[in-house]
Chains A and B, each alone.
Chain A
């Protein structure tokens, strides 16, 4: 028999607040004890196709990625640059389904990584916020990164994540005011995602100094863990960012390894996974040794 309600205990009572500890925070605690930053890697689920992507997630974890940001491909990704847009489109064209993303969550968890999902809000809203939280928790998921959901609009998600013990990862950007940083820090769980620059995802030759200041300001606003993403694409950049951030997030550079030179087609599986593994290792080396 299926459970008619997503938010009830087996005895039919509404679920209360889950007080189970955050696996993401536990991960950061361990890394802090070793004075190391964590490496968070992004790939869209279903890119280039569902099975290939499961192998890719496993590969990432086996080659140095600590927490995986599993992207849910969306038709209108306003925070993403061309590389992730192209990969998302390929995934959608190849039959990606949101209900199957939990396989990716399980894959990451089984490989020993911390599974995070990154999704534009309409996909979660359409799937059902409570239903998503339940399925995500059951699959072993840790937290959800919401690039277009600010805490002010997140009432339903705050309630569902409280009931299911999931992390709420909101973003901040270099021009966020102290007031906004506080709103985010007060409502976040797990970590805060600091955008390294104003703009969308994508690789950049240089990283300017602003993320360091943003990380400091976000910590001042009360955030325990602050990770930096958007525009980090090389081991050297990862090392620089990792010297002050609790975690370094890399997306486009990893996705890139599985795209051919046209940027709109995926390379074959063997080549793609090999390139992905090499890139992940290179980045992990830089990030994990950032403070040595």
Chain B
């Protein structure tokens, strides 16, 4: 006899004993008099959360004694206060140590739906549940044949109760559907390690009609399993031990409810207006508590500014009169010709000219927006990191314009390579601090900026340069950069009479220029989106900054956000390498990580060699010298062309985001192509006159 058979036999025996005292017609009479049931289906599915069914459970056959629960009503109260959507009460007495008396006490104590959980196989038990005021009953498919399942289900439905139909296999799910189940309990634990198995869930839930509510029933202990089930698509969860045995029951339920709300918020669409802190499973605020007050303030002030037409007016005015926006959308017919020669694809190609902005890159868009917020917050000091110059120069520029005190952190290695940019920032009144700790590159500059911020957060704003870092930075920086795509969309229509592009190519370091040009098109499935990371010497070389290719980045937390991260086997951050300092970063913005996971953006990489070849092509065909960062997008256009061809496009319209200008890269390029002798190159370095490696990404 299986455990289930035994439990069912016991439950039937107990029921028969009760029936002797209270015959069926008496129970039916009581059921008729009971208050009408709550429609539990309305409590078990919602757009903004994962409803929690919290269980009153003293023991189970598998785990033995769990909790005494001397006062089930008080426990149910705590569950309800914690935000539970329904209470499940075990009424089986032999192994679960529950009773209908428990049920009555809970029913009287709470205003949310109550589930009678027992081994129900007779009509008497269903009537009895209703007589005691149950809104929901449990039916276990494995304990019932098809006819019985259907008749009990129909009976419960006829009494206006909701039925949670427990299943364990795909076949049982099919039987439940055939019988007319509307709420199905799914058990997707991997029996080997007892963890929630998302693949198993998907396999089980694959054929469920949309209007069936899916309740994850097994193994939900805390936020981890809830999140796994929710991301797999469960509508609600049933939790027993994790809440019944917690030291603080209300808090335990509340944690689950919050975790559910967070998952729902993290997957909200449309993509273009998705708000942080979470982008799918990415993002968040992995920072010291000491920064939370400042991040909260920034979030609040930014939300106010966003709703203030005056703020937008001022930003628009400065964008036009100071930055020189809109930046043009330039058609590149001779480059298109070269692309055709190389790939055979006959495309129309347009370049979004962020290189023509004041300071020579898209970075000013964000620096300007944030600097206006600094004014709004009443802070007086701005700090920023820079890999090799562009964001530092943009920040120093807007600080000079708005009269803000400015300090730029720069890794010592970058600062030495970038003596000219250091001079530019100083000329603009900024203090430039060389960071001599760690690897002395961009990430170390960010670490040092974070340390400064933790220390001086009262009067200081950290003007982060990309769509990475803790919330609200990724969403806020995107908002300041999305003008790139909005303009491009408009210009394509107004200047060229084209409704929409077929493809967009951008380079991805932290990812701000890419998000900037892509955001306006994220919800337009007709537009293929391509992001290109810095391939360095190629993914196998170990010398690159590719986070998305298989075998490169892993899920991790870095400088405030959860995203993909280049790390070693110990979880220590890896050194990255690229010919372009602006793409040379160990992690990537959390929104990109999400867009990769949901398959909206196609990410690949361009090696140093490919990027330099693209650089030369654009110089020669169009007379436009792109930043080496942007050259990764140019090189990527050849790769995108192959993909578009494979997809059947014959005359696609492509936009390449030229995120910055390449004057700064002349020394690197000159050496790369042999236009400078060694002596000339050395002389330039000695003069500090070189300008390579600005983070124009």
Residues of A within 8 A of B (CB): 4-5, 7-8, 12-14, 16-17, 19, 74-79, 81-82, 85, 89, 92, 97-98, 121-123, 125-127, 147-150, 152-153, 155-156, 158-159, 162-163, 170-173, 175-177, 180, 184, 186, 195, 198-200
Q: Are A125 and B556 in contact (CB under 8 A)?
A: yes
Nearest CB on B from A185, distance (A): 12
- Residue of B438, B456, B571 with most chain A CB atoms under a 10 A cut-off: B571
Question: Which residue on chain A has the smallest CB distance to residue B560?
Answer: A148
For the complex, what is the distance from the CA of A20 to the CA of B567, rounded to whole Å?
36
Asked if B70 is at the interface (CB within 8 A of a chain A CB), the reply is no
Q: Are A155 and B447 in contact (CB under 8 A)?
A: no
With A4-B193, A122-B558 already in contact, the answer to whether A153 and B66 are too (CB < 8 A) is no
Q: Are A76 and B573 in contact (CB under 8 A)?
A: yes
Question: 1/0 per position for B558-593, CB-CB distance to A under 8 A?
Answer: 110000010100111100000000000000000000
What residues of chain B lie closer than 8 Å to A162, measured between beta carbons? 222, 246
What residues of chain A lie closer than 8 Å to B221, measured between beta carbons? 14, 159, 163
Q: Are A75 and B438 in contact (CB under 8 A)?
A: yes
Q: Are B571 and A98 in contact (CB under 8 A)?
A: yes
For the complex, what is the distance from the CA of A253 to the CA of B555, rounded to whole Å?
35
Q: Are B437 and A121 in contact (CB under 8 A)?
A: no
With A16-B66, A176-B293, A198-B458 already in contact, the answer to whether A150 and B285 are too (CB < 8 A) is yes
With A155-B259, A198-B455 already in contact, the answer to whether A76 and B447 are too (CB < 8 A) is yes
Q: Are B571 and A195 in contact (CB under 8 A)?
A: no
What residues of chain B lie closer than 8 Å to A89, measured between beta carbons? 438
Question: Which residue on chain B has the smallest CB distance to residue A184?
Answer: B289
What residues of chain B lie closer than 8 Å to A5, measured between beta carbons? 192-195
Q: Are A148 and B288 in contact (CB under 8 A)?
A: yes
Q: Are B193 and A78 in contact (CB under 8 A)?
A: no
For the complex, what is the distance from the CA of A159 to the CA of B223, rounded to whole Å?
7
Asked if B506 is at the interface (CB within 8 A of a chain A CB), the reply is no
Choice from B194, B251, B293, B558 contacting A8 with Cβ under 8 Å: B194
Q: Are A74 and B222 in contact (CB under 8 A)?
A: no
Q: Are A176 and B284 in contact (CB under 8 A)?
A: no
Nearest CB on A from B136, distance (A): 25
Nearest CB on A from B463, distance (A): 17
- Residue of B437, B456, B570 with most chain A CB atoms under a 10 A cut-off: B570
Q: Are B289 and A14 in contact (CB under 8 A)?
A: no
With A149-B286, A153-B285, A176-B293 already in contact, the answer to whether A16 and B451 are too (CB < 8 A) is no
Question: 1/0 per position for B484-515, CB-CB distance to A under 8 A?
Answer: 00000000000000000000000000000000
What residues of chain A lie closer than 8 Å to B193, measured between beta carbons? 4-5, 8
Nearest CB on A from B81, distance (A): 14
What residues of chain B lie closer than 8 Å to A158, measured between beta carbons? 222-223, 255
Nearest CB on B from A148, distance (A): 5
Question: 1/0 per position for B256-300, CB-CB distance to A under 8 A?
Answer: 000100000000000000000000000011111110110010000
For the complex, what is the distance from the CA of A180 to the CA of B292, rounded to whole Å?
8
- Residue of A5, A16, A19, A77 with most chain B CB atoms under a 10 A cut-off: A16
With A76-B558, A147-B288 already in contact, the answer to whether A126 and B447 are too (CB < 8 A) is no
Choice from A78, A81, A122 contacting B288 with Cβ under 8 Å: A78
With A16-B245, A200-B451 already in contact, the answer to whether A127 and B222 are too (CB < 8 A) is no
Q: Can you give 29 A-B contacts (C-beta < 8 A)?
A: A5-B195, A7-B195, A13-B62, A13-B63, A14-B194, A16-B245, A75-B573, A76-B444, A76-B573, A78-B451, A82-B437, A92-B572, A98-B571, A121-B557, A122-B558, A122-B571, A125-B557, A126-B554, A126-B570, A147-B288, A148-B286, A150-B285, A150-B287, A152-B285, A156-B223, A163-B221, A180-B289, A198-B290, A199-B290
Q: Are A156 and B224 in contact (CB under 8 A)?
A: yes
What residues of chain A lie closer than 8 Å to B554, measured between beta carbons? 126
For the complex, what is the distance from the CA of A97 to the CA of B570, rounded to whole Å?
7
What residues of chain A lie closer than 8 Å to B246, measured between beta carbons? 17, 162
For the complex, what is the distance from the CA of A199 to the CA of B451, rounded to whole Å?
7
With A7-B194, A149-B286 already in contact, the answer to whether A76 and B292 are too (CB < 8 A) is no
Question: 1/0 per position for B204-237, CB-CB distance to A under 8 A?
Answer: 0000000000000001011110010000000000
| Known contacts A13-B194, A155-B224, A159-B221, then 19 further A-B pairs from the complex at CB < 8 Å, ordered by chain A residue | A5-B192, A7-B195, A13-B63, A16-B63, A78-B287, A85-B438, A126-B567, A126-B570, A156-B223, A158-B223, A162-B222, A162-B246, A171-B290, A173-B288, A173-B290, A176-B292, A198-B455, A199-B451, A200-B455
Interface size class of B (residues with CB under 8 A): 35 or more
Residues of B within 8 A of A (CB): 62-63, 66, 192-195, 219, 221-224, 227, 241-242, 245-247, 251, 255, 259, 284-290, 292-293, 296, 437-438, 443-444, 447, 450-451, 454-458, 554-559, 565, 567, 570-573
What residues of chain B lie closer than 8 Å to A81, measured between beta carbons? 451
Q: Are A176 and B289 in contact (CB under 8 A)?
A: yes
What residues of chain B lie closer than 8 Å to A148, measured between beta carbons? 286-288, 557
Nearest CB on B from A175, distance (A): 5
For the complex, what is the distance from the CA of A89 to the CA of B573, rounded to whole Å?
12
Question: Which residue on chain A has the smallest CB distance to residue B436?
Answer: A82
What residues of chain B lie closer than 8 Å to A76, measured between beta carbons? 438, 443-444, 447, 558-559, 573
For the complex, what is the distance from the CA of A129 to the CA of B621, rounded to whole Å?
54
With A153-B285, A171-B289, A173-B289 already in contact, the answer to whether A159 and B222 are too (CB < 8 A) is yes
Instruction: Give 4 nearest A-B pairs by CB, closest first.
Output: A126-B571, A155-B223, A159-B222, A173-B290
For the complex, what is the distance from the CA of A19 to the CA of B255, rounded to whole Å?
19
- Residue of A13, A76, A156 with most chain B CB atoms under a 10 A cut-off: A76
Q: Are B458 and A175 in contact (CB under 8 A)?
A: yes
- Residue of A8, A150, A158 with most chain B CB atoms under a 10 A cut-off: A150
What residues of chain A lie closer than 8 Å to B556, measured between beta carbons? 122, 125-126
Nearest CB on B from A193, distance (A): 9
For the complex, what is the distance from the CA of A125 to the CA of B289, rounded to whole Å?
18
What residues of chain A lie closer than 8 Å to B259, measured between beta carbons? 155
Nearest CB on A from B654, distance (A): 38
Q: Are B251 and A172 in contact (CB under 8 A)?
A: no
What residues of chain A lie closer than 8 Å to B241, measured between beta carbons? 16-17
What residues of chain B lie closer than 8 Å to A85, measured between beta carbons? 437-438
Nearest CB on B from A17, distance (A): 5
Choice from B285, B286, B570 contacting A98 with Cβ under 8 Å: B570
Nearest CB on B from A197, distance (A): 8
Nearest CB on B from A164, distance (A): 13
Question: Which residue on chain B has the smallest CB distance to residue A200?
Answer: B451
Choice from B255, B293, B557 contacting A122 with Cβ under 8 Å: B557
What residues of chain A lie closer than 8 Å to B287, measured between beta carbons? 78, 148, 150
What residues of chain A lie closer than 8 Å to B573, measured between beta carbons? 75-76
Nearest CB on A from B555, distance (A): 8
Nearest CB on B from A82, distance (A): 7
Nearest CB on B from A146, distance (A): 10
For the complex, what is the distance from the CA of A170 to the CA of B286, rounded to whole Å?
13
For the complex, what is the distance from the CA of A200 to the CA of B567, rounded to whole Å?
24
Choice from B251, B443, B559 contacting A186 with Cβ under 8 Å: B251
For the complex, what is the distance from the CA of A279 to the CA of B570, rounded to whole Å?
32
What residues of chain A lie closer than 8 Å to B286, measured between beta carbons? 121-122, 148-149, 153
Nearest CB on A from B128, distance (A): 31
Q: Are A155 and B438 in contact (CB under 8 A)?
A: no
For the complex, what is the distance from the CA of A167 to the CA of B455, rounded to whole Å?
27
What residues of chain B lie closer than 8 Å to A176, measured between beta carbons? 289-290, 292-293
What residues of chain B lie closer than 8 Å to A149, measured between beta carbons? 286
